[in-house]
Structure 1
Amino acid sequence: KKKLLLIVAATLILRHSTATDGAAGNSSVARPGCQDQCGNVSIAYPFGIGTGCFLEGFEVTCVVEDHHYVPFLNVSTFVEGHQLLDINVTLGEARVLSPVSWYCIDIDKNRTMNNRCFSVGPHFTISRTMNKFTAIGCSTIAFIEGESKHEYISGCTSSCDKDSIDNSGQCTGMGCCQTSIPDNLNYFRVTFLENRSFYGDTSDFSPCSYGFVVDENYFNFEQSYVSYTNFEELHGDGGVPLVLDWVVGKETCAQAQKNLSSYACRDINSYCTDVPDFPGYLCNCSQGYEGNPYLDEGCRGQHVSITTVTFFSFRADWLCEFCSLLFTNVESAHLLLTTDINECDFPRLYPCKGRCKNTNGNYACSCPLGTQSTDPKNESCIPNDNIIIVSNEYGSGELAPFN
């Protein structure tokens, strides 16, 4: 009996590991026969390089710059393509370089400026949850505006003298300021207003003001930035990282599934997710699978490895110990795959226009102090009064959006 029990236990291990390995298969990110890499960037479908290799609106070109291959995302009809930094198929995100705008006053008080614009195509928006509008300078009022001239969307102010520049690495309004951007933004242009009212003329130590939209996880302010006359060149590639959200199609999941020839979720082990407040949808691999759901056979089974044990004796207590180890590990693997997620890490699937807090099996969304919303998950929090500029004793603050 002991021998029979041991054989059954060993068979369970072999069947479990073999089934997992067989489902895994080979990983693929691009369509068959298509280029899947440009420089050090992996080009995952629906993005692609060359005819027949991308979904409409997701074309990437691979060019040579300074003897290196560099990918560019061709998504705009207004400006040149944006240098592509990486693609996240699971979250529906892509990082690109964002231009830096500037306004400078030289030693002779001559003024020069470069108000840059940024635009993306209909499948993309500039992520509100991942990016911040940021301005640098000691006498700075900066705005981002929409396509219509003088339609100011959002802005902030930064003021300081030589001794009050913040050295915490944060944007507090003393040398650097930040503010949120609107939802579903696909175009912006940065503009400046000259501001010499707080500390007088600061051009001798802070000759330029800079404005840009940047991935807030990337940017850390340094005191030396206020004295730069070439902040854009400081970052080498001529810009700062910005996160784009993207969707496929222009309809809901229910509408897209009516036409299977154009339905983007190709793998049988995938599912469709509607994106709140924006036309289009995303695809994800089903639970227990990972990979690229936009490709046929793109989702593969997740591999769970179990250490095998060799027995040199058939003592009953050893066998029971072995069975306990086996089923404990299988249960642990099950718990790992079904554990509670932090919904706040996936704002596109679990929206919150205020402050998000993870809870057991769910999440909560509330407005910051001094603001309100009837539905903070889907409607932005607005100030309780009509104050336009909220400032502190240093003259820093955020400018509320104009309607």
Structure 2
Amino acid sequence: MVVHAKQLLLTVVVTVFFARAGTQQLLSLPNCPTKCGSVTIPFPFGTTKDCSLDSTFLINCNKTSSTSTHVPFLPQSNQSVLNISLDGELRVAWPVASDCYAEKSEQVNETYWDINMTHFSVSSTRNKFVAVGCDTLALLATYDSEGKNYSTGCMALCNRLNDIVANESCSGTGCCKVSIPQDHVLTKVTYGTLGVFNNHSAVHDFNPCGYAFLVENGAYSFTSTDLLKLEKEEFPVLLDWAVGNQTCQQAQKDLSNYACKDNKSTCYDATERSGYLCRCFNGYWGNPYLIHGCQGSVWDGNLIFSL
């Protein structure tokens, strides 16, 4: 009898598993593309006005000349989108700032960046500001939606390449990193580098340039070869997004504009910025911003495996 009960339970578990695996997940509105190139574009985001919740979530899907493939971009800042999470995260590619010098300390190239994000904010807890160089001061100026400035920076120094090879850590020798100003909704970022003492003349043979960039936590590991030339021109950065600027309690008073459309979804207030987000009930998965977007079963995984 016990054997039959276990077989029946196993049959039910397998049936539920394959039912879930075989169900096509609803990600976008009807007749709207779910992908731009290799990147999934889930609603409330969309590649046209009719396919997105509003202009906040509009994504440009453009063909690039270098790869001839379609790549999603943010219209306001023209940053390429790497990934969109329905948990309120948007992963984008941000460029590297640099300043380079000739052997006689003459500056030959300088690139700094001023990025303004109308609808999204830089995650202050899931990114770092990094500088690479041996004569490098990196500065980061951030601004909130009211224009208030919160700045930081760090200095990366070294005298010999051997000092770096023995300790390839981002602790100030050849590389430094700092946290981004926290407890603020940062919608504008300016960053760049400059030579500190001798414009790289004393270290030019192995470090002609200084670099500065924002990067997602854990997405960059410093090596001594980066001093001669940093191969990457962009790094992933996490942005925060949310629906509107109301709390859940406020938004639920106007159900016609309330974004959590599936009846198996719930609302929760965004923690990194104003607005709210939606999620499917426990035991369900999918897109809570769409009617019938949450799919699943009444079975609870913990209950099934504890029987």
TM class by shorter chain equals: 0.7 to 0.9
Q: Distance in 2 between matches of 1:290 and 1:251?
A: 25
Q: 1:89-104 residue pairs with structure 2 within 5 A? A: 89=86, 91-104=87-100
The answer to whether residue 54 in structure 2 is matched with residue 58 in structure 1 is: no
Q: Distance in 1 between matches of 2:36 and 2:12?
A: 40
Partner in structure 2 of residue 252 of structure 1: 247
Contact 1:130/1:217 (8 A) holds in 2:
no
The answer to whether residue 284 in structure 2 is matched with residue 289 in structure 1 is: yes
The amino acid across from 1:50 in the alignment is: T
Deviations 1:90-128 (A, max 9, x none): x21111110111111112422131111222223x21111
The answer to whether residue 114 in structure 2 is matched with residue 117 in structure 1 is: yes
The amino acid across from 1:177 in the alignment is: C
Q: 1:220-235 residue pairs with structure 2 within 5 A? A: 220-228=221-229, 231=230, 234-235=231-232
Unpaired segments ≥5 residues, structure 1: 306-328, 336-403
Partner in structure 2 of residue 161 of structure 1: 159
Residue 52 of structure 1 aligns to a residue in which SS? helix
Contact 1:159/1:199 (8 A) holds in 2:
no
The amino acid across from 1:301 in the alignment is: G
Partner in structure 1 of residue 205 of structure 2: 204
Residue 165 of structure 1 aligns to a residue in which SS? helix
Deviations 1:9-33 (A, max 9, x none): 8777777776787788431211111
Q: 4+ runs of 1 displaced by more than 6 Å?
A: 5-24, 197-200
The answer to whether residue 54 in structure 2 is matched with residue 82 in structure 1 is: no
Q: Distance in 2 between matches of 1:41 and 1:72?
A: 11
Residue 215 of structure 2 aligns to a residue in which SS? strand
Q: Distance in 2 between matches of 1:147 and 1:10?
A: 61
Does the C-alpha gap of structure 1 residues 64 and 117 become closer, same or farther in structure 2, counting only changes over 3 Å? same
Match of 1:132 among 128, 135, 138: 128
TM-score between the two structures when normalised by the length of structure 1: 0.66
Residue 146 of structure 1 aligns to a residue in which SS? strand
Contact 1:167/1:223 (8 A) holds in 2:
no
Partner in structure 2 of residue 73 of structure 1: 74
The amino acid across from 1:188 in the alignment is: V
TM-score between the two structures when normalised by the length of structure 2: 0.85
Aligned length: 297
Q: Distance in 1 between matches of 2:8 and 2:150?
A: 68
How far residue 181 of structure 1 moved from its aligned partner, in angstroms, is 0.3
Q: 1:387-398 residue pairs with structure 2 within 5 A? A: none
Deviations 1:30-67 (A, max 9, x none): 11110011111111111111231112211111111122
Deviations 1:124-160 (A, max 9, x none): 2111121100001001111111359995611011101
Greater displacement, 130-139 / 296-305: 296-305
Contact 2:248/2:268 (8 A) holds in 1:
yes
Residue 94 of structure 1 aligns to a residue in which SS? strand
Which of these two proteins has the greater Rg computed from alpha carbons?
1
Contact 2:27/2:34 (8 A) holds in 1:
yes
The amino acid across from 1:98 in the alignment is: W
Contact 1:30/1:36 (8 A) holds in 2:
yes
Q: Distance in 2 between matches of 1:208 and 1:243?
A: 26
Match of 1:26 among 24, 27, 49: 24
